[in-house]
Amino acid sequence: MTVSLRHRLTKYGLLGIVLASYAFLYLPIVHITLAAFSKNSNFPYPPIWSVASFFRLASNTVYQGALLNSLLIGVATGVLSTIIAMYAAIGVIRYAGRRALLFALFFSAPLFIAEILLGISTMALYFVLFDMSGNLVAAILANTVHCFSFAFLIVGAQLYRHDWRMGEAAFVLGAGPIRTFFEVTLPLVWPSLLGAFLVSFIMSFNNLDISFYVLGATPTLPSVAWGALRYGVKPELFALATAVNGVIALLMGLMFALMRTGMMKFGYRPERE
């Protein structure tokens, strides 16, 4: 039966491509994770287990300072992006009417502008016009512009599916707008807000292109890593990358657990199957 044979061949072919892509994406990560945990970091097969690089990493004060700065940037950007994205999403979906598409395009615009442009243009603004040197706040604001677009899409995607009539029902039953928001809307849409926060945090935490130009001398983890990369110091870098990946994996695991317990759907609609 050639029809089903063709189907099966196609399916296995596609599966092959998918598996190869996963391998391509994750092999480097696996490699450096092994390298981070071994003495023979350049070719850890088989690995000689040791956590020496992690200890060296932890005791390195430059990295410590950089970590703090990165965390600061991450949290601040996350919070700011999520809040502004929430306003944007509600505005576009509920109140923009005819100009909804226009606003949506404007809010998505930063996605299509190279990150590096954001960095250098912000630097141009501060340094040139205000004669200020780069600082943390500038980095936060610049990162927020970039992450805001992502956050806008994430929050917007869930709000689009939100049934606003529940809010109207709440009005009819006597709740004011703020009360309605906190008791009716927020409990339903918080997953996307959390997702937006996490994505913004992670992206700005790891960001180099934007932060680099606006920070001046303030070190962040990526910029220190970049510096070390230029000078070829490897093992600590591997440990650093592994640590960051570990945290990300944890956060993703958190999101996944939320999904499994049904709290977040991210658009999975089983009835469509």
Partner 1 sequence: MQGHLLQRLFTGIPTLFLTLFFALPLGALVMVSFWRTENYHLIREWSLMNYHTLLVESAYSTFLIRSLVMAFAVSIFLVAISWPIAYFIVRSGGRYKLLLSLLFAVPFLSGEVLRLISLQGLLGPVGLVNGLMVELGGAPLRFIMYTNVATFIGLVYIYLPIVVTVIYLSIGNFDFRLVQVASIFGASPTRAFYEIVWPLNLSGTIIGFLLSFIPCLSASLAPRFLGGPDGTLYGMSMSQQFGESGTWALGAAMGVALFLLSLLLLIGCCLFVDLRRTGFTGMGRA
What residues between 148 and 207 interact with partner 1 by CB under 8 A?
148, 152, 160, 199, 202-203, 205-207
Q: Which of 17, 23, 48, 68 binds partner 1 (CB under 8 A)?
A: 17
103 contact partners, CB below 8 Å, separation of at least 6:
88, 91, 92, 96
Q: Is the peptide bond before 46 cis (omega within 30 degrees of 0)?
A: yes
Q: Give, in degrees to the nearest 5, the angle at Cα 156 between 152 and 158.
A: 135
- Answer whether 167's CB lies under 8 Å from 179's CB: no
Q: Which of 72, 136, 188, 248 binds partner 1 (CB under 8 A)?
A: 248
Site for partner 1 in 47-86 (CB under 8 A): 84-85
Q: Which of 88, 154, 159, 170 binds partner 1 (CB under 8 A)?
A: 88
Query: Rounded to the nearest whole angstrom, what is the least distance from the CB of residue 18 to partner 1 in the complex?
Result: 5
CA distances in angstroms from 232 to 50, 67, 216, 228, listed in the order given: 21, 20, 22, 6
Q: Which of 23, 51, 68, 252 binds partner 1 (CB under 8 A)?
A: 252
Q: Which of 8, 9, 15, 186 binds partner 1 (CB under 8 A)?
A: 15
Alpha-carbon distance 110 to 34, whole Å? 37
Among 45, 105, 100, 41, residue whose Cα is nearest residue 241:
41
Structure tokens at 60: 């390195």
Among 26, 69, 40, 66, residue whose Cα is nearest residue 242:
26
Structure tokens at 140: 């936060």
Query: Rounded to the nearest whole angstrom, what is the least distance from the CB of residue 252 to partner 1 in the complex?
Result: 6
Q: Does 250 bind partner 1 (CB under 8 A)?
A: no
109 contact partners, CB below 8 Å, separation of at least 6:
149
Query: Rounded to the nearest whole angstrom, what is the least distance from the CB of residue 150 to partner 1 in the complex?
Result: 10
Q: Which of 31, 132, 162, 171 binds partner 1 (CB under 8 A)?
A: 31
Q: Does 132 bind partner 1 (CB under 8 A)?
A: no
The amino acid at residue 224 is V
Among the residue ranges 39-47, 54-62, 165-173, 181-189, the one whose residues contact partner 1 (CB under 8 A): 39-47
Alpha-carbon distance 71 to 36, whole Å? 22
227-246 footprint of partner 1 as x/- string (CB under 8 A): --x----x--xx-xx--xx-
Q: Does 145 bind partner 1 (CB under 8 A)?
A: yes
Q: What are phi and psi of 253, to 5 degrees?
A: -60, -40
Q: Does 4 bind partner 1 (CB under 8 A)?
A: no
Q: Does 144 bind partner 1 (CB under 8 A)?
A: yes
The amino acid at residue 34 is L
The gap between the terminal CA atoms of the chain, to the nearest Å, is 26
Total binding residues toward partner 1, as defined by CB under 8 A: 94
Site for partner 1 in 92-121 (CB under 8 A): 92, 94-97, 100-101, 103-104, 106-107, 109-118, 120-121
Query: Rounded to the nearest whole angstrom, what is the least distance from the CB of residue 3 to partner 1 in the complex?
Result: 9
Q: Which of 5, 25, 173, 217 binds partner 1 (CB under 8 A)?
A: 25
Structure tokens at 18: 């998918």
Query: Rounded to the nearest whole angstrom, what is the least distance from the CB of residue 270 to partner 1 in the complex?
Result: 7
